[in-house]
Structure 1
Amino acid sequence: MSSNNASGKTVSDVQSTTTEEREDEPTVEHEPAGRSACPECEGQVITEDEQSFCTDCGLVVADEWVDLSPTLNDLGLVGDADQSIETVDPLRTDKGLHTKIGRNTDGRGNPLSNEQWEKVQRLRKWHKRMQFGEKRKRTKRLNEGLRDVEMISGNLGLPDHVSKQAAQYLRSASEARLPGGRMAWEALAGGAVLLAATEAGFPRSCDDVVQYTKSSYERVSAAARKLRCELDLDVPPARDGVVDDVLIALDDILDVQTCLELRELSDHLLAIADEKPVGPGTSRLTMGAAAVYVADRLTDGKVVTQAQVADAASTVVDTSKSRISRYSQTLHDAYEAKHGCDDPDAVLERGRIRLQ
């Protein structure tokens, strides 16, 4: 039985009229979800690595972290691409896909009774065990490292995509089994943030990062270098000009010509140390000091001693004579293997040609 409204039309009449109006409306076709237009030239916008840019004019539309793992559509689990996008967070051990269990209230916000609270505690305990999986101990350490990355990035005022990139570095370090021995998770977290900030164009000094890191300056610097060398990251070093720091401290011993030759040769040796790598778990400044000593041994001058180089480097980072001795021989052998001899002219001649 149909009822009449104020205008005398029945409900069925109104429904039929609405249906006819919808049929008369033009159909709007939408572009596929994976394609968008450039706001400047209407060209096609594509995403590569962490940047979304126009293929026609080159305008960068977005520059942020993008998860490139396969979606449900790629795996053939769903047919609709719009339903295949998962919300993930690299700052969580399981990328944030786990269920969250509340602490003091139920789903409606009501307080829990004592019996309910004890039950929720047991559920949370077993849920955390299942969340961390079989490698529970290592996953817990990774989770603590990711919390450190989030904390350091937040205190330094870094954008979200920088902290997420640092989290990716820490995950890669975990997969490569880099944490262990003197290379602690805390130091790797600080090193990851240091590299991610440098790569993204938000450089922070090692002193700034160490201020919020549960590790020392030397360990954070060493962790940043270990990440670059062991993971083969195409990221500029977080601390540049370490050779200059050592040579400046040796200024009263070296003359100008010798200083220029040592600088040219030391920079080349430091590049070899990063390429091999030599001493990847050592700070870049310590390797720079070792490179200066090897450069002095390769030339005819032999002006400085290991103790003098160690004292010069210690003005920034504590460096011992034994470390200089340990890495200098390995670095000397790497130079011979690369050039087939220990003649410094293989490098210095190129510098003289550039000066001409």
Structure 2
Amino acid sequence: MSSSKPYADGFDEDPENDVHGDCPECAGNIETDGGERACTDCGLVVDGHGLAYGNRPRWFDDGPDTRRTGAPLTPARHDSGLSSEIGRGSDANGRPLSKQKRRQIRRLRREHNRARFRSKAEQNLAFACGEIARIVGALDLKHDIREFASVLFRQAQSDDLLRGRSLEGFAAGSVFAACRCRGLPRSAREIAAVARCDENTVLNSYRVLNAELELATAVQTPRQLLPGLVSELDVDDVVRNRARELIEVAESEGVSNGRRPSGVAAAAIYLAGQEFGTEQTQAELADAADVSAVTIRERMYDLQEAL
């Protein structure tokens, strides 16, 4: 066993500058030892910094080498990203494999895929994580939504909420719940359009998650839903700006309190269209906002009274 002092020449120490002047307390010598600059007489620690033991890439003249760092842990995969993946066609250095080696790698990949899952629950989790990733990619959502939705699905599976329910529905419901908790204006109809289930299944799965897991969902406002409706209906900029002003009036006067936000936003677009002569029909607005035409008329009357 070596008797040399560990980390004597570590990256956080400078052997040539062990003495750094006088102590501000007792005028003694300050030396660097173990990553700390301390006084040898009174023990005052002037400055301290420790060693970084985390995985960091090695830097060379041509850039960093990240091969030893590995992928970060993520709940978006059933194994948290710890399992190995057997590649195809070439080795680690990019050289092509021989025909015999490719056959061997093919057999290893087949056995590796068979042994990936230790139980049926883990297999279901892997399927759900893949479905969540597909829905998030189709909706162009951020990666944190995918991770949060995967965490919600894991909690639902651990609480035995999946019994008698479809995996596709709970995967889509987890994405919808993640959007609600993060305050993203995504409707259940938008998620159902890219999911492998209908809108009612998405809503039912969300209700179960919300009731059993007690989700801290954010309250949606008409201001948040307005850009999506304007984009879907291809409304002019002047109508959009006027609708935003009407929504501000509705919020200040309390018209939007206790009302469905999409109905208030659709009514604001309808009134703004009447003012500028580019009126959208109530049927088109009701279909885009997922409300009835009666709701739009009632919110329109409330806005007219507030004005």
Give the alignment's TM-score, normalised by structure 1.
0.43
Give the alignment's TM-score, normalised by structure 2.
0.49
